[in-house]
Amino acid sequence: MPHSYDYDVIVIGSGPGGEGAAMGLVKQGARVAVIERYQNVGGGCTHWGTIPSKALRHAVSRIIEFNQNPLYSDHSRLLRSSFADILNHADNVINQQTRMRQGFYERNHCEILQGNARFVDEHTLALDCPDGSVETLTAEKFVIACGSRPYHPTDVDFTHPRIYDSDSILSMHHDRAMC
């Protein structure tokens, strides 16, 4: 006798791996839900990893490029930005990426559920919701796409005040002009 599940597949994590799996499955006709522990989709890649680090790098590169351009060599035209300005740019990129990714899920009718997932049995998850409630969800299959962490070599002191990783760089505070 076939089982009746809430979903064909539940994907845990909405980063690049989870998003790719969910979109591929939805386009094949599967009933898919994605569980994301944070309020916004995108995972670490979107919120504190790849995309923000690339946005920071790109902003600084453009400022340096502008300041080194002979067309703008007059010192009165030098472009100066504080770290707060550059972080604000990264935040704008993050927000744009989040909206775009949320749109992917909405257009493809893929349900997003917020909370922390834990397995109850091979076809059942308990979803610990932000409001303290617990939902029980069932699926025939699950995809675990809960991301990664920055590598911390043992010979590098990550407690040092000037050493950051992708999880901590966006919380850095620096008041003076960077470029």
Provide φ and ψ at 23, rounded to 5°. -65, -40
Per the model's pLDDT, the better-predicted residue between 2 and 168 turns out to be 168
Please give the model's pTM, rounded to 2 decimal places.
0.79
Helix pair angle (50-68, 83-107), 10° resolution: 130
* Cβ atoms within 10 Å, residue 155: 5
Q: What is the arithmetic mean of pLDDT over 161-171? A: 79
Task: Give the model confidence (pLDDT) of 81-115 as tens digits.
Answer: 787 888 888 889 888 999 999 999 999 999 999 99
Q: What is the arithmetic mean of pLDDT over 34-56? A: 86
Residue 76 pLDDT more than 90?
Answer: no
Task: Give the model confidence (pLDDT) of 128-147 as tens digits.
Answer: 999 999 999 999 999 999 98
Residue 145: CB partners within 8 Å, gap ≥ 6? 11, 12, 13, 15, 17, 18, 21
Residue ranges and CATH numbers for the domains of the chain are 7-171 (3.50.50.60)
Instruction: For residues 32 and 5, give the distance between their C-alpha atoms in angstroms, rounded to a whole number.
Output: 11
